[in-house]
Structure 1
Amino acid sequence: MIPTNAFQYLQSLEEINLSLSRVENIETAAFLGLLKVKVIQLDGNKISKISRGSFNGLFNLKTLNLSNNIIQEIEDDSFHGSSAIQYLDVSYNKLTTIPEKLLEPLTMLTMLNISNNLLQSLQGNLCYNFINLQFIMLNNNQLSEVDPCLHLLKVIELSLSNNLLKNLSQSLLPKNVQKLWIAHNNIEELDEDLFANTHSLSILDISGNVLNFIPQNIFEACISLKFLDISENIISIFDPIPFIAYEIY
């Protein structure tokens, strides 16, 4: 357990590493007063819940690593007062849901990793002014649909592999995306205009789905595409036109 005011006499701390320390609980205001802390590593512990106020007052915190715990719940306002966070990693936990306004204070967020959890939905969690958010990892969850606000973001790397997605629409993809992983879902077909606005897309992995056809003009706007993986699908008739016409190789 990390008790309240655990570091009250260490006001000069800039980084705290408590990885692999068997921590099970973080009390409210455990890090209160640490105005210089920029990095907190809590990965590889046995934390099951993040309560309100756990990270209050960490105005300069840039990196928070909570990966590889057994977190099942993160309460609303857990990150209140930590708006400077740029890198948030809660991967490899047991989260089934994210409170709708949990991420709202994190306006400086650059990287968000929620991969390898049990999430079924992210509805509304990305509908905020994340002007700096560039990397989102949502792979290895149970998502059956994409957050409707995703296309508003300036994300350049997006991982949605190993979920339960059945379809994607052009209106859901971020226009600035450069690397997109949607492998090992249940996608049966791709809309012809799916990549109409993704001119910067350079890496695309749609392997391990149930595609049986690639629309003829689907890659017309993908002028930057360098790597394409469509392996492990059920494409019975291979039409080379979508690839030859736009020099994808």
Structure 2
Amino acid sequence: MVASIQEFNAVKTQVRRSTGGHKDPYIQVMTVWFTLALTLLCLACCCHGTMSCPTLCKCYPRRAEVVCSEVPLTQFPSEGLPENTTLLTIQYTNITSITEEDLKAIPLLEGLHLYSNNLKNLSSDLLRGVPRLNTLDLTGNKLAYLPPNVFSHAPLQTLVLKNNMFEKVHGEWFSHSSNLTWLDISGNRLTTVPSALLQKVPHLENLDLAHNRLEKISLNSLDGLTKLERLNLQNNKLSSLDASIFNNNRNLTYLFVSENQLEKLPATILRGLTKLQGVSLDDNKLTHIPPGLLDQLPSLHDEGLDLTTNPWLCDGKVEYLWRWLQKNKAKAFTAENIVCAKPLSLQGRSVLALKEETEYFWRWLMHPQNVLFLEEVPCASPEVLKNQQVVSLRPSIVVLVPPWGSRRQIDFHIGVHL
């Protein structure tokens, strides 16, 4: 092309000399047209491959991005795919497979988003031809199994396997320690935490295991994740957590354990997690908070703690939670919605609204073995309450049972209440 331009300039110079330096109008017009033709030819040659675009796709040359989101698409859009593509999105199509050869055509690829297609399997060499790929999103496909080393051939930092059909995930997916920082396996069918896989991702900062069927987190399974900042265990079937489960996760900033079946929490489970800014424990089966548990959260943000939708038992053990809420109301998400489930007389009442009237009251409540909310005990006095059931009194009456535990009609005056 350069030679052609030089030849054209040489001819133009000869023409000028032969006409004595005067510009012939015909020569001028031809010069303009010839220059325009050369310019268009140059652009066509320089832009070949960047202006092409596959059928049923949209291309954005300035950011080297291609987006294919048409349902009729059933095969990888190889034809017309610009070689310099760095970001490829294929979504909501009927594509069922993708191969190593498909991706070799775009060696500069950095981000591959393949969500909501019909992918059922992947080749172990799939990523061999994309050495710059750092983000792979496979959300919403029909993947249930992946071969060993499938993620070993690219420097992945973000891997999303959300909403597939995995019952197990394997450490063999990576042949060696990975630089992965973001791993999302939510919305699958996992029953156990993938310990073997987590050992291969020591740089992980975000781990999402929400919406699975996890029943237990095995001891030490999270120990290698010293850089972990965000852990999502929401909507599983966890009924308990070991006191030392987060011992090595001192960088945790957000912890989501809502919508599980937790009945109690170890008093030391949050010890050392001083960077926690948000903790979600809502929608479990918690009845009490161990004394001192929430005092271990100095970095908690406003509305950073969610304790709503739990069946709180408002007996003597509720004092710690009550006192903490009094001092840290702003730290609790909708604090007024943390309500008593039992006893019946306090059902629906906000824990925050409970009142301490005497030190004697709390001293007795701190010894639950001395406190019973008796539904079958009637009042003997005062006269205005004679024969009325204690549990029906408003405000609620706490019955103090003597050491010998006799269950009989008790003569007392109303002086201890909420």
Where does residue 13 of structure 1 map in the other structure? 109
CA-to-aligned-CA distance 1:195-229 (integer Å, 9 cap, x gap): 23211122111111121233337639x87953334
- Are 1:216 and 2:340 matched, yes or no? no
The equivalent of 2:194 in structure 1 is 99
Pair 1:169-2:266 in alignment: yes
Q: Which residue does 2:124 correspond to in 1? A: 28
Deviation at 1:152, TM superposition (A): 2.8
The alpha carbon displacement at 1:91 in A equals 1.1
Determine the C-alpha separation between the residues in 2 that align with 1:140 and 1:110.
20
2:163 is aligned with 1:56: no
Decide whether the 8 Å contact of 1:55 with 1:79 is kept in 2. yes
Q: Deviations over 1:134-191 (max 9, x none)?
A: 1111100111222533143111111000111111123212332111101111112110
Query: SS where residue 88 of structure 1 aligns?
Result: strand
Higher relative contact order (CA 8 A, sep 6+): 1
Q: Quick one: which of 332, 335, 343 aligns to 1:227?
A: 332
Distance in 2 between residues matched to 1:108 and 1:121, nearest whole Å? 23
| Structure 1 residue 74 corresponds to structure 2 residue 169 | yes
Equivalent in the alignment of 2:210: 115
- Whole-Å Cα distance in 1 between the matches of residues 167 and 125 of structure 2? 20
Task: Give the partner amino acid of 2:261.
Answer: L
The letter of the residue matching 1:201 is L
Secondary structure at 1:195 match in 2: helix
Tell whether the 8 Å contact from 1:177 to 1:201 is kept in structure 2 after alignment: yes
Higher helix share: 2
TM-score normalized with structure 2 length: 0.52
- CA distance, structure 1, for counterparts of residue 222 and residue 182 of structure 2: 15
2: CA distance, partners of 1:80 / 1:102: 10
Mind listing any 5+ residue stretches in structure 1 that lack a counterpart? 242-249
Matched-pair contact (CA < 8 Å) for 1:116–1:140: yes
In the alignment, is the contact (CA less than 8 A) between 2:139 and 2:164 conserved in 1? yes
Aligned runs of 1:144-163 on 2, under 5 Å? 144-146=239-241, 148-153=244-249, 154-163=251-260
> How many residue pairs align between the two structures?
238
Other-structure match for 1:188:
287
Q: Could you say what the CA RMSD is over the residues aligned between the two structures, in angstroms?
A: 2.5
* Residue identity (%): 24
Distance, in Å, in 1 between the alignment partners of 2:183 and 2:164 is: 14
Residue 244 of structure 1 corresponds to none
Q: Any conservation in 2 of the 1:141–1:162 contact (CA below 8 Å)?
A: yes
Higher CA-based Rg: 2
Change (3 A) 1:13 1:224: farther
- Residue segments in structure 2 that go unaligned for 5+ positions in a row: 1-96, 357-418
Q: What per-residue deviation string (whole Å, max 9, x for no partner) do you get for residues 106-152 of structure 1? A: 12211111100111122132111x23311111100111222533143
**2:171, 2:200 within 8 Å by CA — same for their partners in 1?**
no
Residues 40 and 21 of structure 1: CA distance in aligned 2, closer, same or farther (over 3 Å):
same
Q: Which amino acid aligns with 2:200?
A: P
Residue aligned with 1:54, SS:
coil
- For 2:298, the equivalent position in structure 1 comes to 199
